[in-house]
Amino acid sequence: EAGVTQFPSHSVIEKGQTVTLRCDPISGHDNLYWYRRVMGKEIKFLLHFVKESKQDESGMPNNRFLAERTGGTYSTLKVQPAELEDSGVYFCASSQLSGTDTQYFGPGTRLTVL
């Protein structure tokens, strides 16, 4: 069984540009979560989807971040325009709708904003 995959693994962009990160959850997992770690800080929750619906986006830092999950499969996280403080590692995790909600993480996307 394939795990959670994320693309790209690394992205280097300039301040003011736009970047889109993609997450493919484990097949059959309806729950999808985004987390991120910025420099020197803990990994923090951003938002949660159940299928295509956003259930909680209390961790989204501001309106420069837009997450979507059209069709309830893969998800994208767009940052527009990117700022220096957005640099960090963005993780995606998925879990089954039934059961214990054990979240399986992808390898992350390392975003560097110059």
Q: Which residues bind another protein (CB under 8 A)?
A: 4, 31, 33, 35, 42-45, 48, 50, 55-56, 59, 91, 93, 95, 98-108, 110
Minimum Å gap between C-beta 55 and another protein is: 6
Please, what is the minimum distance in Å from the beta carbon of residue 53 to another protein?
Answer: 12
How do 44-50 and 10-13 pair as beta strands?
unpaired
* 7 contacts: CB under 8 Å, gap ≥ 6: 21, 22, 24, 109
46 vs 79 by CB, closer to another protein: 46
Nearest C-alpha neighbor of 67 from the set 106, 114, 33, 111: 33
Residue 32 Cβ vs another protein, minimum distance, rounded to whole Å: 10
